[in-house]
Structure 1
Amino acid sequence: MRSFSIFSWLIISLFFLTTSSCVEVAQAQGVPCPGGYSNQFRLSGKVEKPRTFTLRNLQRNPKSSRITINYYSGKEGSVTKDYIGVPLIDLLNDAAIITDSTRKNDILSKYVSVSATDCYEVIISVAELLSNFGHQQVLVAFATGDGQPLDENEGMARLIVPGDKAGGRCVNNIARITVRSIQ
């Protein structure tokens, strides 16, 4: 029998916690969920430098890169697409995640909640993004692989999670990126 590591347990637990009733929680907290096109998003939470991003901010970021993703979509079947965007870890590093230096590996207790305009929400453990742990190249995409803006359904920015077998964590119309802690 294969045992789960603490990291695996954390990811599974956070997935079930956030997918159980994200829309209801957001609405109860007074967060509007109208859906539709997002022309900006806010990065906040446990960061020293919260910030609002626009298309221009993302386009001017020197850390932009191009990535190809392959995943299965319930609507489209097998999907392969190219995107241009900024690695999520670079946005988080620029925002300076707040950690407690008295706690061993406090950064490993942090996770990122990415919410869409319709209150669809997914989580990514910060450890998944760190080069000395998961080193997953999660991207905040702002253009297709050929440099064209994302379409109306995708919004100004879309979260791209390469390596996932299904596209469920690829969030369209990003409204908020929030850094949180399990402790």
Structure 2
Amino acid sequence: MNRKIVLLFLSLALLSTSHAQTLTVSGAVSKPLVLEASALKAMTHADVRGKDHDGKEHRYSGIPLVDLLKRAGAPMGSELRGKNLTRYVVVKAADGYEAVFALPELDPEFATRTIILADSVDGAALTATTGPYRIVVPDEKKQARWVRGVTVIDVRIAN
């Protein structure tokens, strides 16, 4: 009986680990995505620098959030006008934490900074407490929108 319980816990741990590696991009997009770790790793990465809660500057590497949104069919560039300017992104973490970004602040035609879905810091994979994926917002005074353990990126339209 104890062996069955141990196997059950191991199975659940493996399922939760593999689920944590999956990222969903959904909502008001034309091509919702469910991306596995291998697909995310294969995407073009960008490096940004930012000060973490420790007050030290670190180099983060990850996928520009705009690239994920474009791949999912969110309006960007010349499409980002009129009603599309009311769209926003809710980034959700495995622990229930959420942060909001206006869609224009993620588009390089509107913004000068690159916000990324990081998968490494200073050349090493993110730790279990911050990863496997983390939103990094360079130059923000507070890291309140640096969502750790990202699982969902949901595009919405304001009423």
- So what's the TM-score if we normalise by structure 2? 0.79
Partner of residue 130, structure 2: 154
Cα drift, residue 136 of structure 1: 2.9
Cα drift, residue 56 of structure 1: 1.3
Equivalent pair of 1:55/1:142 in contact (CA under 8 Å)? no
Structure 1's 81 and 154: CA in aligned 2 closer, same or farther, altered over 3 A?
Answer: same
Partner of residue 5, structure 2: none
Cα drift, residue 145 of structure 1: 3.0
One-letter amino acid of the counterpart of residue 70, structure 2: N
Partner of residue 44, structure 1: 26
One-letter amino acid of the counterpart of residue 82, structure 2: N
One-letter amino acid of the counterpart of residue 30, structure 2: E
Equivalent pair of 2:108/2:114 in contact (CA under 8 Å)? no
Number of matched residues?
139
- Percentage of matched positions with identical amino acids: 27
Cα drift, residue 48 of structure 1: 0.9
Report SS of the residue matched to 1:169: coil
Cα drift, residue 98 of structure 1: 5.7
Cα drift, residue 44 of structure 1: 0.2
Cα drift, residue 131 of structure 1: 2.2
Of 77, 87, 90, 2:67 maps to: 90
Runs of 4+ displaced beyond 6 Å:
none
Equivalent pair of 1:137/1:162 in contact (CA under 8 Å)? yes
Whole-angstrom distance in 1 between the partners of 2:47 and 2:134 = 13
Partner of residue 111, structure 2: 134
Whole-angstrom distance in 2 between the partners of 1:124 and 1:117 = 18
Partner of residue 40, structure 2: 58
| Superimposed CA distance per residue, residues 87-144 of structure 1 (whole angstroms, 9 cap, x where no aligned partner) | 0001101111169xxx952221111000101110000111111223224310001112
1:67 aligns with 2:48: yes
**Which of these two proteins has the greater Rg computed from alpha carbons?**
2
Of 154, 159, 163, 2:139 maps to: 163
RMSD: 2.1
Give unmatched runs, 5+ long, in structure 1: 1-35
